[in-house]
Structure 1
Amino acid sequence: MRQYQIAVIVGSLRRESYNRNLATAIVKLAPPEFSFTQVQISDLPPYNQDDDENQAASVRRMKAEIQAADGILIVTPEYNRSIPGILKNVLDHGSRPYGQNVWAGKPAGILGASPGNTGTAMAQQHLRNILSALDVPTQGQPEAYIQVREGLFDESGDIGEASRPFLQKWMNHYAAWVKRHAT
């Protein structure tokens, strides 16, 4: 049976981030042939085109992890009705220098959680626009704009009972998406 390695990008640096918790919990709903690794992004310098010919070791490491992955899972908060700057930074680093875009062709899924009623709808829409420009086939349905409220996670940090059916359906679609598009 083929194994699928998924690079997980969490668009938050906060230790107790809802989205980091969601990323950690949702991967437990994946089929056994999937393995997930959260990519370290906090040590990336701000993207600067002047550095394209001599990228930092952290940038080269991140790009190698994305290149080796069969798919991408992005779990992000919404900041000021868009994506966090740290997430844009990792996307820019991975797409540069021109012609060396490690994101191209990697099937992606997007999730996000927020205490607000609309979850991370605007951030996810902006992210879809960016991923389209980077040639990333992105799962369209089901969308998951998750409101953080009691019961999302259980006492052990796993997906709570009430949220599990919806998020299991999302993960099943994501796994099928990756299998269909992974090269």
Structure 2
Amino acid sequence: MKVLAIAGSLREKSYNRGLVRAARALAPSGMEIIEADISDIPLYNGDDDGDDRPAPVTALAEQVKAADAFLFATPEYNYSIPGVLKNAIDWLSRVPGGIFAGKAAAIMGASMGGMGSSRSQYHLRQVLVFLDVHPLNKPEVFVSAAHEKCDDNGDLQDEATKEMIGKQLAALQAWADTLQ
């Protein structure tokens, strides 16, 4: 199973990119997690949307098409998903063929606050409805006080959180199998 992971942060040492790295290490047998790079996606402009989409958008769209499922790791900015994540999704939603449709997704997120990106995760679920993505309901992964659970490189150190990520990935694998 190929899982495309999309982190909603561009920072190299972000806690959410650290969650993706942890997920790659914790992936169950038969699951390959590939991290998407959204750093070169330009701001969405309908004038640039057509057969001549920017190359980074086309490359990401090919990754989405090839994926069996998705893993989103999102921080929370102003009670919502980061602009870079929403921008990438906006571009991809315009690609003909409903490239997200019918696929499973898991959502996780880390923040320094006490709610662990819960509001952004719920907003992301609303966006995924339009894309016809089927988010996994449980287990949820909300990493609060991420600065206490990750090292200076953003790498997850907390064993209880790693255990939750492992459970979420196993559930994602089962959910994706059910949907196929």
- Which fold has the larger relative contact order, with Cα–Cα distance below 8 Å and residues 6 or more apart in sequence? 2
Q: Secondary structure at the match of 1:9?
A: strand
How many angstroms apart in 2 are the aligned matches of 1:128 and 1:103?
A: 13
1:33 positional shift: 0.5
Output aligned runs, 1:79-94, within 5 Å. Answer: 79-94=77-92
- 1:36 corresponds in structure 2 to 33
RMSD: 2.1
Q: Contact 1:7–1:71 at 8 Å: present in 2 too? A: yes
1:165 positional shift: 2.9
In the superposition, the TM-score normalised over structure 1's length comes to 0.89
2:115 is aligned with 1:118: yes
- 2:168 corresponds in structure 1 to 170
Greater mean alpha carbon deviation, residues 159-168 or residues 88-97: 159-168
Q: Contact 2:28–2:166 at 8 Å: present in 1 too? A: no
Task: Give the alignment partner of residue 11 of structure 1, picking from 2, 8, 32.
Answer: 8
- The gaps in structure 2 that reach 5 residues or longer are none
Q: Deviations over 1:62-96 (max 9, x none)?
A: 10011011111100100000000000011111110
Task: Give the alignment partner of residue 137 of structure 1, picking from 129, 134, 153.
Answer: 134
Q: Deviations over 1:144-167 (max 9, x none)?
A: 1111153456x9945532333333
Q: Secondary structure at the match of 1:162?
A: helix
- 1:107 corresponds in structure 2 to 104
Q: Deviations over 1:118-143 (max 9, x none)?
A: 01011000000000011001111112
Q: Secondary structure at the match of 2:19?
A: helix
- 2:73 corresponds in structure 1 to 75
Q: Contact 1:152–1:163 at 8 Å: present in 2 too? A: no
How many angstroms apart in 2 are the aligned matches of 1:62 and 1:157?
A: 25
- Matched residue count: 178
